[in-house]
Structure 1
Amino acid sequence: MTMAGGRDQALVREAQMVAVVIAATAILWLVAQWLVEPGNRLMVLFDLAAMAAFFWALVATWRIWRRTTRPNGN
């Protein structure tokens, strides 16, 4: 496997991880909305955790995009 192929595989794995985090976060947050009563303070914890996961996914996606747009693969 060439170096570019290895780099591409790493980018694919990282993109897959981002996709899994986004999907799992959305599903878990929806389940938490369904299980926890409105106005419960525990809901704030679920909301903050979901925001943190989505922020991480945004930053990771931005990093992947930056790596793919660099000239000469640097």
Structure 2
Amino acid sequence: MSDGTDPDKILARQARLVSIVIAATMVGWMAAQWIGGRLGLPDRYVFLVDLFALAGFLWALFVTWQIWRKRRDN
């Protein structure tokens, strides 16, 4: 199974994607908060950025839970 269909490799690829999404979401959220403070953006835009960050973290949590379930079943 050297064509990338090995279940462990697939799970490892998903875990790497989750880690990238978590890191990018955190950095993006912090940058948006800083930029929003510097520009004096209204609170509704800051709240919108918070919702996007929350969506990224919830997606990462869901995919991590799926990875955990798949590893537990194997």
- Bigger relative contact order, structure 1 or 2 (CA pairs below 8 A, ≥6 apart): 2
Corresponding residue SS for 2:60: helix
Superposition CA RMSD, Å:
1.7
**Count of aligned pairs:** 69
Q: Which runs of 5+ in 1 are unaligned?
A: none
TM-score after normalising by structure 1: 0.85
Runs of 4+ in 1 over 4 A off after TM superposition: none
Decide which of 59, 62, 69 is 1:59's aligned counterpart. Answer: 62
Q: Distance in 2 between matches of 1:28 and 1:39?
A: 16
Q: Which runs of 5+ in 2 are unaligned?
A: none
